[in-house]
Amino acid sequence: MDTGLPRSTDPVAPTSLSLSEALRFWLKLGFISFGGPAGQIALMHEELVDRRRWISEKRFLHALNYCMLLPGPEAQQLATYLGWLLHRTWGGVLAGVLFVLPSLFLIIALAWLYMAHGDMPVIAGFFYGIKPAVTALVAQAAYRVGSRSLKNRWHWGIAAAAFMAIFALNVPFPLIVVVAAAVGYLGGKLQPDAFGGASHGQGTAVRQGEHALIDDDTPTPPHARFSWRRFWSVALVCLALWAGAMALLAALFGLDSVLVQMGWFFTKAALMTFGGAYAVLPYVYQGAVENFQWLTAPQMMDGLALGETTPGPLIMVVSFVAFVGGWTKAVFGADSLLLAGVVSAVVVTFFTFLPSFLFILMGGPFIESTHGNLKFTAPLVGITAAVVGVIVNLAVFFAYHVLWPQGFAGSLDGASMAIGLAAAIALLRYRVNVVYVIVAAGFTGLLVRLLL
How far is residue 398 from each of residues 36, 326, 411, 422, 447, measured CA to CA in Å? Answer: 11, 30, 16, 16, 22
Total residues belonging to the chain? 452
325 contacts 292 by C-beta, under 8 angstroms: yes
Residue 299 confidence (pLDDT): 80
137 contacts: CB under 8 Å, gap ≥ 6: 34, 35, 38, 39, 423, 427, 434, 437, 438
> What's the confidence (pLDDT) of residue 309?
66
Rounded to two decimals, the pTM is 0.69
Phi-psi region of 118 (alpha: psi -120 to 50; beta: other; left: phi over 0): left
pLDDT at residue 269, as a whole number:
85
CB 33 within 8 A of CB 101: no
Give residue 11's pLDDT.
Answer: 39
pLDDT along the chain (452 residues), means of 10: 44 70 89 72 84 86 81 88 93 94 92 78 78 79 77 91 87 78 87 64 44 80 87 95 97 94 92 63 80 85 72 86 94 92 96 94 84 67 80 78 81 91 90 80 90 81
Distance CA 36, CA 174 (A): 19
What is the C-alpha separation between 358 and 378, in angstroms, rounded? Answer: 25
